[in-house]
C-alpha cells in the first residue's frame, strides 16, 4: 500500500467559494456577460431589477459602479434564478469598454470592490491589483 498515491481535488483560484468571500463582479469580455455577486449587490443596496451604472477614471485607474434610478440607458441586474444569490446582465459594449480600459489579455476577469469615492460610488479594481 505504500506505493499508492492519493490525489485529492484542489480548489482553483476562481472556485465557487471565491464569490462568497469577497465583494466581486465578474466580467466575461467576449460575451459581455456581467455577474454581480451577493456581497457586492448588498454593498450597493441592490436587488433584482435594480438599475446600475458604471464610470471609469483614468486618473484613479479604476471603474466605478453605482445604483441609480432607472433610466433608459441603465443596466438592470436580474437574479440568475430563484435559488441563486447573484445577479447578471449582458452588454457587449460595456464588456469591450472594460477590456480596453483595463487592457486585459484574459477572457474573464474579476473586479473587487475597493472603497467608495466622494459621490458614494463603489470603486472596482481588478482582483489582486497592486497599486
129 band by pLDDT with thresholds 50, 70 and 90: low
Asked if the model's pLDDT at residue 6 lies above 80, the reply is no
pLDDT in tens, 62-95: 999 999 999 999 999 999 888 888 999 999 999 9
Which residues, including other chains, have CB under 8 Å from residue 102's CB and lie 6 or more apart? 63, 109, 126
User: Residue 11 gets which letter from DSSP?
Assistant: -
Q: In the chain, pLDDT over 70 holds for what percent of residues?
A: 82
Q: What is the pLDDT of residues 23-70, one digit of tens each?
A: 999 999 989 999 999 999 999 999 999 999 999 999 989 999 999 999
Across the beta sheet with 78-79, the strand order is 75-76, 51-57, 62-68, 122-126, 108-116, 24-28, 33-36, 87-90, 78-79
Which one, of 73, 71, 80, 74, lies nearest residue 36 by Cα? 80
CA distance 111 to 99: 12
Query: What are the residue ranges spanned by the domains of the chain?
Result: 22-126
Cell numbers at 32, concatenated: 459581455
Cα–Cα distances (Å) from 86 to 4, 81, 104, in that order, read 42, 8, 24
pTM of the full structure: 0.81
Instruction: Specify the DSSP element, H or E, that contains 100.
Output: helix 92-101
Between 15 and 100, the more confident residue is 100
Amino acid at each position: 500500500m505504500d506505493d499508492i498515491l492519493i490525489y485529492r481535488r484542489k480548489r482553483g483560484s476562481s472556485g465557487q467559494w471565491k464569490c462568497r468571500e469577497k465583494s466581486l463582479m465578474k466580467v466575461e469580455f467576449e460575451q459581455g456577460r456581467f455577474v454581480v455577486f451577493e456581497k457586492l449587490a448588498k454593498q450597493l443596496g441592490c436587488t433584482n431589477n435594480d438599475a446600475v451604472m458604471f464610470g471609469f477614471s483614468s486618473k484613479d485607474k479604476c471603474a466605478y459602479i453605482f445604483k441609480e434610478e432607472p433610466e433608459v440607458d441603465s443596466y438592470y441586474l436580474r437574479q440568475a434564478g430563484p435559488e441563486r444569490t447573484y445577479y447578471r446582465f449582458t452588454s457587449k459594449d460595456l464588456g469591450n469598454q472594460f477590456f480596453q480600459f483595463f487592457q486585459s489579455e484574459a477572457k474573464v476577469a474579476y473586479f473587487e470592490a475597493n472603497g467608495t469615492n466622494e459621490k458614494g460610488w463603489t470603486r472596482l479594481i481588478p482582483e489582486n491589483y497592486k497599486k
